[in-house]
Amino acid sequence: MATFKAWVVEKGEAGQSLSFRDFDDADLMDGNVTVRVTHSGLNYKDGLAMTGAAPVVRRFPMIPGIDFSGIVETSDDPEYRPGDAVVLTGWGVGETHLGAYATRARVKGGWLVPLPDGLTAQQAMAIGTAGYTAMLSLMALEAHGLTPTAGPAIVTGASGGVGSVAVALLARAGWHVVATTGRTAEAEYLRSLGAAEIIDRAELAQPGKPLAKERWAAGVDVVGSATLANVLAMTKSDGAVAACGLAQGMDLPTSVAPFILRGVSLLGINSVTTPREKRRAAWARLARDLDLDTLSAMTTSVGLEEVGHLGDDILAGRIRGRTVVDIG
């Protein structure tokens, strides 16, 4: 039987373990498209999967890695032929379905989108799940009717993957962007992405008032918990916040006050099972609207053999911007 290299999460009596080893092609899961993976990304959820810090892996053994770009090797899906360049994000890959930290993946054709015109496979994973989620957040704010004339937009966790791309996208769309970070050394980095103001995340991290002074009209929040509660409490009347992360926690210690006294809306962002047409529209927007020089400036690359050692770093907030995994 053919084998390929992969990072594999396993669970035994001593708990969860992660190893880089040969994986048997015959053990790939069901799917009608087999892809030679060329690039993946490092995401917060990948850190959780590799370290076992949260039970995101629900099948063992599991190959982590929730997104990839690559080349179709074989296909029983009429939309894809061998040689097609494709991208995948979401659908439980790296959680319930064998994932991307490997040289090969087998998935359902409906989970894939063609590599957008204007992007390389490397750039697609520099964007990855994080950038795709940031675009879905921007699209949700726009669908709500918000424009830069309404006031500033805040991005929490701005130094991370979702936050970095969100800052760049909002700034390019004309928004006055307020970026929060716990790393003061990243101020110049955030300004280079387009942030107009930078505030310490400590200002928002502790429990606050149900309503506070209005400071912004829109927001993209990747943090959750007390931070999101404070962002909502400071959102202007008829504003909206797109919630797409839980770095601080899954709880939301808020009240109905922002919603019933100011008409603030909380917009949930599901980047895992987004319908195909919306998914393709988001990728087309990313290829058109994201400045590729800015994307390059926020991106670093590692080899497949290195990524398994970065789980703790991304969970601890030591990873800036986007990290591409070059599968090779």
Cβ burial of 81 (10 Å; 0-12, 13-18, 19+) is exposed
Which structure tokens are listed for 137? Answer: 């957040």
63 and 11 part of one domain = yes
Give φ, ψ of 18 to 5 degrees. -130, 130
Asked if the structure places residue 55 within a domain, the reply is: yes
Asked if residue 136 and residue 22 are part of one domain, the reply reads: no
> Cβ(56)–Cβ(49) under 8 Å?
yes
Residue 233 dihedral angles phi and psi, to the nearest 5°: -65, -20
Assign residue 32 the CATH number of its domain. 3.90.180.10
User: DSSP character for 62?
Assistant: B
Position 184 scores a pLDDT of 83
Return the residue matching tokens 């390019």.
172
Identify whether 259 is part of a domain. Answer: yes
**Residue 29 forms part of a structural domain:** yes
The backbone torsions φ and ψ at residue 271, rounded to the nearest 5 degrees and listed phi first, read: -100, 0
Pairing of strands 177-181, 153-155: parallel
Whether residue 221 contacts residue 247, with contact meaning beta carbons closer than 8 Å, is answered with: no
Can you give the pLDDT of all 328 residues of the chain as single tens digits? 599 999 999 998 888 999 999 999 999 999 999 999 999 999 999 999 999 999 999 999 999 999 999 999 999 999 999 999 999 999 999 999 999 999 999 999 999 999 999 999 999 999 999 999 999 999 999 999 999 999 999 999 999 999 999 999 999 999 999 999 998 889 999 999 999 999 999 999 999 999 999 999 999 999 999 999 999 999 999 999 999 999 999 999 999 999 999 999 999 999 999 999 999 999 999 999 999 999 999 999 999 999 999 999 999 989 999 999 999 8
With 0-12 / 13-18 / 19 or more C-beta atoms within 10 angstroms meaning exposed / middle / buried, residue 22 is: exposed
SS3 188: helix
Separation CA 61–CA 321 (nearest Å): 29
Taking the C-alpha atoms of residue 264 and residue 262, their distance in angstroms, rounded to an integer, is 5
Q: Please report the pLDDT score of residue 317 as a whole number.
A: 87
Same domain? For 182 and 216 the reply is yes
pLDDT of residue 14: 83
Which candidate, 49, 39, 53, places its Cα nearest to that of 10?
Answer: 49
Asked if 172 contacts 189 with a C-beta cutoff of 8 angstroms, the reply is no
Q: Both 305 and 183 in a single domain? A: no
Burial class (CB in 10 A: 0-12, 13-18, 19+), 102: buried
| Six token digits for residue 53 | 């810090």
Sign, Cα dihedral of 119, 123, 124, 130: negative
Domain match, 46 and 141 both: no
Are residues 191 and 303 located together in one domain of the fold? no
Residue 283 located in a structural domain:
no
DSSP 102: B
One domain, residues 68 and 182 = no
Whether 141 and 209 share a structural domain: yes
Answer yes or no: do 54 and 149 share one domain: no
Taking residue 187's Cβ as centre, other Cβ atoms within 10 Å add up to 14
Beta bridge mates, 268:
243
Domain that residue 22 falls in: 3-115+298-326
Residue 285 lies in a domain: no
